[in-house]
Amino acid sequence: MRKVGKKFSTRKKILFVVLIASFFLVFPLLQSFFLLPFQLRLQQGELQSFSFQLPLGITIHGDKAGIIKLNGDFLQKKALFLAPKSSWQINPLQIGEVNLEVKLLGIIPCKKVRIEVVSPTKVIPVGSSIGVLFHTDGVIVVGFSSVIDSYGRLHYPGREVGIALGDLISKVNGKKISSINDIIKQIARTGKEDGYLTLEVQRKNNTFVKRLKPIFCRETGKYRIGLYVLDSTEGVGTLTFYNPQNKKYGALGHLVTEGKTNSKMVIGEGKIVDVSICSLEKGKRGKPGEKIGAFTVGKDKVLGNIEKNTNLGIFGTLEEIPASCYYHQQAFPVALVEQVKEGPAEMLTVLKDRKVEKFQVIVEKVIKQKKPNDKGLVIKVVDKKLLKETGGIIQGMSGSPLIQDGKLIGAVTHVFINNPVKGYGVLAEWMLKETS
């Protein structure tokens, strides 16, 4: 009779040893694969060091010469051998791309790494407070009102035909509307003629037409359509940066919206003006603080126009550099997204009058993004003076530049309502792309 149990036990032991051995052989391969990135972006002329801590020696081939040097080697004609856990020192010489083929022990293909060398763009961080003045391209619906006719009956003409809060009315009876007075005149004229108004309406990315009849209001003695509309807005923010080569600027770091409906302000005409901060409202848990700026519409010094209103801020061309600019001559490189890291940083902003000051903050988190948005960073204020004066981040700081390791990395955008010490920031590289 055969001893099956003992033989089976021996096979299990052999299998276990084989599995363990395989693990120790395969694990370094897997580790090498995951430690190496598929792609690196580097700025021309900026020497970079990387420590990938690969457990085995590797050889590296490059498909182009002249783009980079890796540990002093151009990589094209011969393979570069790196011992286990060696560092990579990459010198980006020219703008372009090079593909590296990495082999473990010079034999086993491990990974292909694409290195892209880009041109660094330098801008001047500003930090000055600005007044933002918007005139819409049409009028925005911000509310509804009842209209009482001659018989005492209640009507809501605009709402009844499907107009919604936040809708932009761009044309009435085929004519472009640029102010509240324009639409009032059209309503009065059409009402007297006992006719119908044709409204061209924009809602997000859709444009459609609504037709309604003005009703004579017994209470006001005027023809009305039951809509409250807005044609302009104004506020205080911070100028983030400008490019000294073309005077293009970025500010705020977030979209400008109409306050009641949170609808995007579609630019008809816009400008930024010089503003002085006269007082501060300190932020508290559940109640955001605010900068109070003093400026007079039509009388203040115009600093520039507003050409774009996007989710990443407002953008345009400067006519004049603010006198309060923190750095008038020193231009800073704009950090690539990959270069921004958790740790100490500085914020430029105004607390009083037009004086830009520097305050200490910490980047607590760099948020990975599939597409650019205004919440790419989580920041925390640690500066004692700033905490004493404002409680942390307050309204009006939107756009305040963030600097880390001699680079502009982003701008403040939002405060945490229940913790004003913290807030969000937008990455500077994304803002810069909006200026092109």
CATH of the domain at 89: 2.60.40.420
Averaged pLDDT, 25-40: 63
CA-nearest of 350, 349, 327, 333 to 405 is 333
pLDDT at 246: 94
The answer to whether the CB of 393 falls within 8 A of the CB of 423 is yes
Strand partners for 408? 334, 403
Look at residue 177 in the predicted model and tell me its pLDDT: 87
pLDDT at 23: 46
pLDDT for the residue 93:
92
In angstroms, rounded to a whole number, what is the distance separating the alpha carbons of residues 431 and 126?
A: 14
Which of 85-99, 136-150, 223-237, 285-299 is the least confident region?
A: 285-299
> Which segment of 181-185, 230-234, 396-400 scores lowest on mean pLDDT?
230-234
Asked if residue 6 is part of any domain, the answer here is: no
Neighbours of 318 (CB within 10 A): 20
Which comes out higher in pLDDT, residue 86 or 211? Answer: 211
User: With bands split at pLDDT 50, 70 and 90, how would you rate the model's confidence at 1?
Assistant: very low
Percentage of residues in the chain with pLDDT exceeding 90?
55
Give how many domains the chain has, as a whole number: 3
Q: Give the pLDDT of residue 34.
A: 62
pLDDT band at 80; cut points 50, 70, 90? confident
Asked about 383 being catalytic, the answer comes back as yes
Residue 150, burial from CB neighbour count under 10 angstroms (0-12, 13-18, 19+): exposed
Catalytic residue among 254, 374, 400, 414: 254
Q: Residue 78 — pLDDT band, cuts 50, 70, 90?
A: confident
Q: Where is mean pLDDT largest: 52-66, 95-109, 154-168, 351-365?
A: 351-365
Range of the domain at 93: 33-120
| Residue 248 DSSP class | E
Residues in contact with 139: Cβ distance below 8 Å, sequence separation at least 6, in sequence order: 168, 169, 177, 179, 180, 182, 183, 229, 230, 231
Mean pLDDT of 391-414: 96
Given the residues 374, 383, 400, 414, the one annotated as active site: 383
| Domain end position, chosen among 196, 225, 254 | 225
**Burial, 2: exposed, middle or buried (Cβ in 10 Å; 0-12, 13-18, 19+)?**
exposed
Residues 193 and 107 in one domain: no
- Annotation marks residue 135 as catalytic: no
Average pLDDT over every residue of 47-71: 83
> pLDDT band for position 126 (50/70/90)?
very high
Comparing CA positions, the residue from 420, 376, 433 lying closest to residue 402 is 376
Q: What is the pLDDT of residue 6?
A: 54
Do residue 316 and residue 370 come from a single domain? yes
On whether both 211 and 239 belong to a single domain, the answer is no
Same domain, 244 and 336: yes
CATH of the domain at 360: 2.40.10.120
Whether 365 shows a pLDDT value over 90: the answer reads yes
Residue 136, in any domain of the structure: no
Residue range 329-334: average pLDDT? 92
Residues 354-360, mean pLDDT to the nearest whole number: 96
Mean pLDDT over 252-267 rounds to 83
- The average confidence (pLDDT) of the chain is 87
* Burial letters 386-398, b for 16+ CB under 10 A, else e: bbebbbbbbbbbb
Do 353 and 324 lie in one domain? The reply is yes
